[in-house]
Amino acid sequence: MTGKALLVSTVMGDAEDAQFNVFERIFGEDNKYIYLIKRKECQKLQRIVYFEASTILTLVEVWEFVRVNVVAWRDSPETKEFAEYFVNQWLQGKFVRWQCFHTAGGFASTNNPVEQFNKKLKRDYTLRQRLKMGTLLQ
């Protein structure tokens, strides 16, 4: 309509292959993706991170922390499997920019910002009643 190319700066979705493939096919490979992580998974991994928190205070860079700890995790039989998961899920591949660590300024850092938007829609426009989409858009 306007003669200008569509430039999408923000897309919300889950970190799973089907959505990633669609976004990449439609919007191109030159986009940066930031993914939400389930609160439950964050809490589970948080225990491990807190355990290593004292180490981060002695290291200057985050990548130095990662390098030192991944080596230590791979050396320990109890954490060897976690080390491989951590490297594959958090440091390599297409889902490395997890929301809880890479929140852009001005954007929500909640588990699911869409729910807050839906809450406002329901509160302000539907008066908590089920409406047909046509009625809602009028």
User: What sign does the dihedral 70-72-74-76 (CA atoms) show?
Assistant: negative
The domain segmentation of the chain, as residue ranges, is: 17-117
Question: Which residue type occupies 90?
Answer: W
- Please choose, from the candidates 124, 99, 122, the residue with its C-alpha nearest in 3D space to the C-alpha of residue 42: 99
pLDDT tens per residue, range 77-97: 888 888 888 888 777 766 666
10-residue mean pLDDT profile of the chain (138 residues): values are 70 73 75 59 64 57 76 88 84 64 57 67 69 64
Query: Is the CB of residue 99 less than 8 Å from the CB of residue 34?
Result: yes
What are phi and psi for residue 37, nearest 5 degrees? -120, 145
Burial (Cβ within 10 Å: 0-12, 13-18, ≥19) of residue 103: middle
The pLDDT value recorded for residue 47 is: 65
Q: Return the pLDDT at 138.
A: 62
